[in-house]
Amino acid sequence: MQAFSCETPHRVLLCSIRPFRFLQLPADSRGLQTDLRDFGPYRRSADFATLPQVSETFRLGRVAGIPIGMNWSVLLILWLISWSLAGSYFPAVLPGHQSGEYWAAGLVGALLFFASLLAHELGHAIVATHLDIEVEGITLWLFGGVSKLNSEATSPRDELAIAACGPMISIGLSLGFLLAAAGLNAASAPELIVGVGLWLGTVNGILALFNLAPAAPLDGGRLLMAWLWHRRGNRLEAVVSAANAGRIFGYALIFVGLVEFAVGLGLGGLWLVFLGWFLLSAAQFEKSQAVHLNALAKHLVGELMTADPVVVPENLSVADLLDDFVLSHRFSSFPVQASDRQITGLVTLAQLRLVPAVNRERTCVKSIQTPISELVLTTPAEPADQLASRLASSADGRALVMEHGTLVGIVSSTDVMRSIDRLMIRQEA
């Protein structure tokens, strides 16, 4: 899931979405056993929407076995929320305190706010894990958090369970913070501590309610999709309907934001515009992904792969590989085999470039290859949509196609994208 948040003294806007990942091409995935003349940036189909990649700057640890990371942008939003609470919100609702006290309350509130968002994301991720959906990790960033799921729910019931858990946790946190604030107030605790509890209870309630809006890619849109999927028996139609609702919701937010800004109600209107634009893009992304997956589902890996790839011996030097294979075959990647003809890994042009020219004669391919244990393996009979989803978790977007222990082909993310383009053109004809 991906959560977005921004706090001002007047408004807290939050949402949570789960982004699809398989068609986000890795930076080094262009061309695998393909003509090097095609090495320019691949031109994707015009209707394919994209979402920003969220990189992990710091690893915070693990919760329930799920890796938790943080992007540097969290520090920016943490300061923004703390500053907004300390400089405007708390002085307005609880006047009469020292500046240091306001900043302490603001910092505690901001930290607990991100902890609440993490709990929301963990809810989605833990339920997904119990449903045998691999969770790569959660990364906190500028707009909240993103849970990286490597596949989708296989039934409406599973989709419902994953989507509902996040808002339920937010509602529980909201009630918990409000009850804690009431108890602290009854015990005559300092009013700033009570104020932090009330603010956290309020923003978690807003988080839950906003995310329950029936518009993809919000959690409410996922719930709508699960219901439509169950009712119609067609996942694609359900995703498209929920995504269309998300587009309408995004346009509505943009309109309201522009009106607010035009009548002079402050910069909060611009935030609504930005949020609406992002939800609009995310809804289009989800719709495109569903259409593309549906097209791929009718085809097998054997139809997409490059058959009978050129392999190189593992004891070959980098210099010989460049002279005897790279220049003559125009491929960007080569499977590597041992003396017993067993495939041991894959070597790419990117790896070759890292070897200094003076060391190429004495550096063998085996020492720089990606071992087969780290590669995605598939078979010609695997449905293409399933492989596409698995390629998302691959560092370089490549898969070796094996049959009865023998290498028969290679598939890359680029192959998948090109196949999608051809299928889309065929459907338009």
How are strands ordered across the β-sheet holding 343-348? 312-313, 333-337, 343-348, 370-371
Q: Is 233 left (phi over 0), alpha (psi -120 to 50) or beta?
A: left
Q: Smallest Cα–Cα separation from 333: which of 278, 411, 280?
A: 411
d(CA 247, CA 253): 10
DSSP state of 42: P
Buried b (16+ CB within 10 A) or exposed e, 366-403: bebbbebeebbebebebbbbbbbbbbbbbebbbbbbbe
d(CA 386, CA 45): 21
Question: Is residue 121 annotated as part of the catalytic site, yes or no?
Answer: yes
Q: What is the pairing mode between strands 398-403 and 376-378?
A: parallel
Residues in the chain: 429
Q: What is the pairing mode between strands 2-7 and 12-17?
A: antiparallel
**Distance set, CA 206 to CA 13, 202, 213 (Å):** 8, 6, 11
d(CA 394, CA 217): 24
Q: Smallest Cα–Cα separation from 3: which of 95, 87, 84, 117?
A: 117
Active-site choice (121, 159, 260, 314)? 121
Strand partners, 147: 138
d(CA 391, CA 413): 7
**Chain centroid offset of residue 270 CA:** 25
Catalytic residues: 121
